[in-house]
Structure 1
């Protein structure tokens, strides 16, 4: 379909802006803000856990603390499943807003909780909101990303998670000692007051979703405004439960079935690392003999490394391929975890934690970047949703496992568990390009872009 003043649906003219970072910056900035608050909410628990364990009125034990960390991840799993239905009904933008509202309410419940059960219910509620947010934000950003910059755009978006983690640590260090851990969770209500009005006013709806809902006029208008190619029916995600089931079945076509399973395994391992460390790092370092303030500060340092890692990994992945970078980053994470098992001098420990943060979080994010290159446009949202959804099982398993080890006085063994997860994740993601080629010997360069820096050419 063409319109006056254009030479085709995918070509910018004087009436349609060029598709660059500049034209899509509002979408990236708003999704960045939403994921920032996601990272803040996830990391708040780890930042204040030592204070909560020291609060006799709450009655939290290491074992129950680990279980509660898993409840958050289970909430994320159910939230990711529910997001598909809600997106069909409301669209991606309102679903993002609803996700922010839910995890803000969950933080309020945690602030009011008088026992571990009610606190766990608050974390479960927050998890429901968090579960739908990341895959929706990733799908939005990948849809709006400039050509040739898919991995870099993904890295830029997910840098916000670690900025949020640093903010959570700073709030925990500043508020918890004087005002108590509850004040930190009250700060977790801020997303509903700050992000929701901005998302409602400025975030556009997905052109693909608009087209799937039959609104061709609005879909073309949004695409033209942001310099995107106008969506075609094959790019639009199928609506309704039958459409989503068909999209999930498509992930197991012969050309992608093995790649799908490997992506799920890599995501599981990646989120074992991300959520296990985000929840337990301060307490694990405290058990290793470091002071309380230093142990909490380590969480800020590892998230600072995560921000740097997103930029480094995004640029490297656009050049060498996200699968290669993700595999290397997983392996380096395993090495960092083994180093942290030893009680090193404080300065060396800070350096190791910072460098581990550089590779740890971006290893998982590059799994999402690889996912975006494996599937066709109409299957990408379903592929991302399933990769993040299955990964949530790792997000539940990691905190639970370290909680079990902590209850037996063996929580430092968690570093060995993290190293094993890193090695398994490296093997899984490294095999994805091979599995994709074997499944589809005649695929095009766009379909095998996971092996090289041409990833974003799939939109060309």
Structure 2
């Protein structure tokens, strides 16, 4: 096999198995993240567990702190250890964490289980994003990212459905036992069918396998200039490249945008039911709002992906953040139930995909050899927002002011819009010699 052979045309059909496996893994990621918010009222009402709103917010922040560590570690190590082992390990970790929560005698052990889940949840997301960015058809990377991320919200809806169906009659512990399913279902499928990155295989000296994978899925065959550098030195080189000319000013802006977006995603996912209950809605209606906002998220991913492939992910992310701020501010008002459902659904259309388009922009800012590391650090540093969001929501709920909670989320959305809007300007201001990228990626972040 020679490096000059032309691969077949790449399309959604040729890479569908890869995107489907990533979809399944991220579905379980979304289910595990949203299980906590779905059973939050039952956790607070269980006197044996010892939860208060402040304790619940702290436990939620421990989950996202685990995600921060998992994302930074996975994004940095995936080009060294490989995509498939880290996807498998991440799924196993958050399944074990869910099992620990199911048997937890008190808040301390429960928090440890959520931290363990967070390590796996944080590790999975940047790897899945990197896989989809690498295998996506040309000029369809944002749509492919959006398609994959619909699974997160489908998982969130499944978690809400399980919480509504199981927790009232059988208790919240059985809901967390459902979180063990990923290890049983997803791990065997990923182990058997998920291909390794051709770039990673090439960097490890396994060129024939790299070319075989590239040819099977219609990818360009990897070359030395685009493959990640092997070994520990390669990890440090990839991190240093985040601050190379052309990216050194854009990198911190992407971190800020990710911080704001993840504060919104995890703050809302954790506290929306309680915020709505504090606004006067019933318990069952308040939990249903979580399903409604995730349904909006699924629609938003498809709309945002197609729109971003045409107009660019930066523009779409900025506009979506501003629309999220408007929706969050509207929820301060005491709306009729039907109107409230509509506003929550429409806000979900913008909220989640605003953050995902930050990832789509990130995958186009960095050269292929640094893409996984760049995504890992954007998701990892952004997880500080995911740590702050649940904690901040808990403090607001403890203060009894639901309106302040919605205002806080609106301000975070405006911050995200400003940060992502400045990325193209920062790239032009800091541009020196730009790393060579495939033509499909050139200028795509603008």
- What is the TM-score normalised by the length of structure 1? 0.94
Write out per-residue CA displacement over residues 244-263 of structure 1, whole angstroms, 9 at most, x where no aligned residue.
11111111112111111110
**How large is the Cα RMSD of the aligned pairs?**
1.5
**Count of residue correspondences:** 442
Structure 1 SS opposite 2:445: helix
Match of residue 68 from structure 1? 59
Q: Does the 8 Å contact 1:436/1:448 carry over to 2?
A: no
1:94 is the counterpart of 2:89: no
The aligned counterpart of 1:457 is none
Deviates more, 1:383-392 or 1:78-87: 78-87
1:241-280 mapped onto 2 (5 Å cutoff): 241-280=232-271
CA pair 394-360 structure 1, distance change in 2 beyond 3 A: same
Corresponding residue of 2:122: 131
Determine if contact 2:21/2:190 at 8 Å carries over to the other structure.
Answer: yes
Match of 1:194 among 161, 185, 188: 185
Asked if 1 retains the 8 angstrom alpha-carbon contact of 2:84 and 2:195, the reply is yes
Partner of 1:119: 110
Residue number among 283, 295, 300 corresponding to 1:304 in the alignment = 295
Which deviates the most, 233-242 or 122-131?
Answer: 233-242
1:448 positional shift:
2.3
Equivalent residue for 1:227, pick from 205, 209, 218: 218
CA contact (8 A) 1:166 1:299 kept: yes
Aligned to 2:443: 448
Q: For the residues of structure 1 that align with 2:70 and 2:83, how far apart are their CA atoms?
A: 14
**1 CA distance for matches of 2:86 and 2:350?**
31
In the other structure, the counterpart of 1:454 is none
Shift of 1:83: 2.2
Change (3 A) 1:87 1:440: closer
Q: What secondary structure sits across from 2:39 in the alignment?
A: helix
1:88 Cα deviation (Å)?
A: 5.5
Task: Give 1:84 deviation, angstroms.
Answer: 4.9
* C-alpha distance in 2 between matches for 1:299 and 1:84: 29
Give the 5 Å matches for 1:179-218. 179-218=170-209
Residues 45-56 of structure 1: pairs in structure 2 closer than 5 A: 45-56=36-47
Structure 1 position 411, deviation (Å) = 4.1
1:100·1:196 contact (CA, 8 Å) conserved in 2? yes
Deviates more, 1:228-237 or 1:106-115: 228-237
The 10-residue stretch of structure 1 (24-33 or 226-235) with the greater mean CA deviation from structure 2: 226-235
Aligned to 1:385: 376
Alignment gaps of 5+ in structure 1: 452-460
Deviations 1:197-224 (A, max 9, x none): 1001111111111111111111111111
State whether residues 79 and 372 of structure 2, in contact with CA within 8 Å, keep that contact through their aligned partners in structure 1.
Answer: no
Taking structure 1 as reference, are residues 180 and 130 closer, same or farther at Cα in structure 2, changes over 3 Å only? same
Following superposition, the deviation at residue 89 of structure 1 comes to 5.8
Q: 1:412 aligns with which of 395, 403, 412?
A: 403
Partner in structure 2 of residue 2 of structure 1: 2
Distance 1:412 1:177 in 2: 28
Q: Distance in 2 between matches of 1:393 and 1:369?
A: 20
State the Cα deviation string for residues 336-366 of structure 1 (Å, max 9, x = none): 0001111100010000000000000000000
- Structure 2: how far apart are the matches of 1:89 and 1:344? 52
> Which residue number in structure 2 is paired with residue 399 of structure 1?
390
| Within-5 A mapping of 1:336-375 | 336-375=327-366
Q: Is the 8 A contact 2:203 2:230 kept in 1?
A: yes
Contact 2:321 2:354 (8 Å CA) reproduced: yes
Note if contact 1:85-1:240 (Cα within 8 Å) is conserved in structure 2. Answer: no
1:24 pairs, out of 8, 15, 31, with 15
**Residues in 1 aligned to 2:366 and 2:113: alpha-carbon distance in whole angstroms:** 35
Structure-1 residue corresponding to 2:71 = 80
Q: String of CA shifts for 1:164-197, please: whole Å, max 9, x gaps.
A: 0000000000000011000100001001111011
- Checking the alignment, whether the CA contact within 8 Å between 1:375 and 1:447 is kept in structure 2 is no
- 1:376 match: 367
Question: Does 2:25 correspond to 1:34?
Answer: yes
Counterparts in 2 of 1:146-165, with a 5 A limit? 146-165=137-156
- CA distance in structure 1 between the aligned counterparts of 2:432 and 2:237, rounded to whole angstroms: 24
Q: Do the aligned partners of 1:165 and 1:300 also contact (CA within 8 Å) in 2? A: yes
Deviations 1:117-144 (A, max 9, x none): 1000000000011111000011011100
Give the drift of 1:91. Answer: 1.7
Gaps of 5+ in 2: none
State the Cα distance separating 1:238 from its structure 2 match: 2.1
Q: Contact (CA 8 Å) 1:234, 1:377: kept in 2 or not?
A: no
Q: Give the Cα separation in 1 of the matches to 2:403 and 2:201.
A: 50
